[in-house]
Amino acid sequence: MLQTTDFDEFSRRYGHLAMAVLHRGDLHKALLSKLQDVIIRTGMECVGAREAGDRIVLHFANGDAVEADFVLACDGIHSAVRKALFPEGREHFARYTCWRAISPGVPRGMDPARLSESWGASKRFGLAAIPGDRVYWFACCGAERTDDPALARLDLEGIKAFFADFHEPIPEVLARTPPASLIWTDILDLNPMSSFTRGKVVLLGDAAHAVTPDLGQGAGLAIEDAAVLAALLARLPSERALREYDARRVVRARRIAIESRLYARVAQWRNPLVVPLRNFIVSSIPERFMDRQLDAVLDIAFDPIRTAA
């Protein structure tokens, strides 16, 4: 373990909740609890989108077609809407892969207020306590291709063996993990795009700007998009609101995409001569200095929305 992050410290510094770790299911529940008079249709796979005059037609796998005045596409990194209407969007393989799971109980000696990453040669392991006395962990290793059959075969026992030389509490957390909770994902991001809007179609979240998870900002960016867009649409005519949305979101997302890629590259280095040097340098950097590097990411002011108003 070379560095840890005390996320309460960020909140103290910025005077607002700067970082929180929570289970995706809990986030869904929180969002759903705020919705009123909204119809949600599940099982609707969008397979295409086209413009028809000033309307947009969405096609679904079950044969349905829906005509809309306005489309907010938040269908993730493989967005069908983006692929249909934004030819600029290109997925990019970050040359590493990741397993994730939740394990019950926080091991003794693990500080629940700190995130940690432990780095080896082309492999790393991250730990974060989440509400409900549970630990979220991720384990990454370098990969030459997506859907590598050898990596696809790796189960929890394989991961335990792969990280057997990592320090406690990693073996303990792995030992507690239910095998069925394991999720495997190749890490892709999107090459930064110059616009997230086309007419009255707007991309939000990973559909617009999937970033590698290295700075832990993908979900945060998606939530920011929604907050910014909602605030702008409430105050401005829709055409201007969309222009302002692009102006505010494209630059921020690009910066985080580039920084995340850079971080990923260094974290996944495998050269046996370079890795010890990297580890020495990273572990020697004072925590305060490392934290300052995240200021541009975490200390975001939403003042521009008020200015637009």
Report the interface residues with ligand FAD, using CB under 6 A.
44-46, 74-76, 78, 80, 98, 100, 138, 185, 205-207, 213, 216-220, 222
Contact 206, 218 (CB under 8 A): yes
Least distance (Å) from ligand FAD to the CB of residue 189?
10
Least distance (Å) from ligand FAD to the CB of residue 270?
19
- Name the residue nearer to ligand FAD (CB basis): 266 or 274: 266
Q: Which two structure tokens, joined as six digits, stand for 41?
A: 């249709």
The values of phi and psi at residue 77, to 5°, are: -60, -30
Contact 203, 196 (CB under 8 A): yes
- Name the residue nearer to ligand FAD (CB basis): 80 or 267: 80
Least distance (Å) from ligand FAD to the CB of residue 231?
18
First to last CA, the chain: 46
Q: Which H or E run includes 283?
A: helix 274-284
d(CA 209, CA 257): 8
d(CA 190, CA 200): 22
**DSSP 8-class letter at 253:** H
- For the chain, the 3-state helix, strand and coil shares in percent, each to the nearest 5, are 40, 25, 35
- Name the residue nearer to ligand FAD (CB basis): 16 or 78: 78
Q: Kindly report the CA angle at 36 between 35 and 39, in degrees rounded to 5? A: 85
Least distance (Å) from ligand FAD to the CB of residue 83?
9
Least distance (Å) from ligand FAD to the CB of residue 280?
26
- Name the residue nearer to ligand FAD (CB basis): 45 or 239: 45
Q: Which two structure tokens, joined as six digits, stand for 222?
A: 């998606």
- Name the residue nearer to ligand FAD (CB basis): 100 or 160: 100
By DSSP bridging, strand 3-6 and strand 114-119 are antiparallel
Q: Using alpha carbons, select from 162, 157, 151, 158 the residue that is nearest to residue 185.
A: 151
- Name the residue nearer to ligand FAD (CB basis): 27 or 281: 27
Least distance (Å) from ligand FAD to the CB of residue 96?
10
- Name the residue nearer to ligand FAD (CB basis): 185 or 283: 185
The tokens 């069908």 sit on which residue? 80
Least distance (Å) from ligand FAD to the CB of residue 185?
4
